Amino acid sequence: MRLIATMALAFGLTACGGSGGDSAPPLRLDGLYTGLIQGSGTSATVLLAIDKNNVARFLNITDRVIGSANISVNGQNFSGQTRFYDGDSGEFTLTGSVSGTGITAGGFTAVITDVGTANGTFEYEREDYEKPSSLAIVVGTYQATFPEGPSITITIANNGSINGSTSTSCTIQGGISVKDPTRNLYDLTIVRSCSSGVENFTGFGSIISDQNQTTLFVIANNAQVAFSAGFVKQ
């Protein structure tokens, strides 16, 4: 399973193209993807998700960049404005754009622009996305640890409420809800309360499991701060 093998989650743009007829059907964008972005002599692995409202969130795991985008669809093409955040501090850095064509059922290509321009190729992770979601699946206690930064422990209750804390004495509250019971993508709200202040985040979550562990991958943001984590079920 690619997402577990790379220890990362593709929150991606998925497209289900149609066949036949004089005109192509409207493009559908929702799913989990892994992607490779190349530009200016460098390459990066990107994990990307988009919901059925065409809201996308993504993580560049090579350069530690988090992003969000609102996607517009025009026939078989798409485009959108993006916001980029530093993956370590979480702070907003700059805006950019994304556009794509050449959609197939198994993937797509895109052009991403921030301070430069890069080309990306993305593959649909059908096994990870096209499976059921429910509150019963996500109930439990999870922990995320970071090479540089505090660890976070959260507990998800039967009603989807989230409560937890960080190793630096911040409290975590929020909730998780099912977007579509036939797809492995959840809505998340997170409130992080620290001595420095309170921050509210909205984002996506997805459960990725193998024979060794179950991980809740999260990408969430607000206008100024973003955060991503892989919460391992205890």
What pLDDT digit, counting tens, does each position of 92-148 carry?
Answer: 889 999 898 756 667 778 888 876 788 888 888 988 999 999 999 999 999 998 877
Nearest 5°: CA angle at 8, between 184 and 135? 30
Query: Mapping DSSP to helix (H, G, I), strand (E, B) and coil, where does residue 129 land?
Result: helix
Instruction: Look at residues 234, 179, 169 and name the one whose alpha carbon lies nearest to residue 205.
Output: 179
The answer for residues whose C-beta is within 8 angstroms of residue 117's C-beta and 6 or more apart is: 39, 111
Q: Quote the CA–CA distance of 45 and 114 in Å, as a whole number.
A: 16
- Per-residue pLDDT tens over the stretch 139-172: 999 999 887 778 999 999 999 999 999 999 999 9
Contact assessment for residue 206 and residue 9, using Cβ atoms and an 8 Å cutoff: yes
Q: What is this structure's pTM? A: 0.84
Domains and CATH numbers, the chain: 2-128 (2.40.128), 131-233 (2.40.128.20)
Averaged over 33-51, what is the pLDDT? Answer: 88
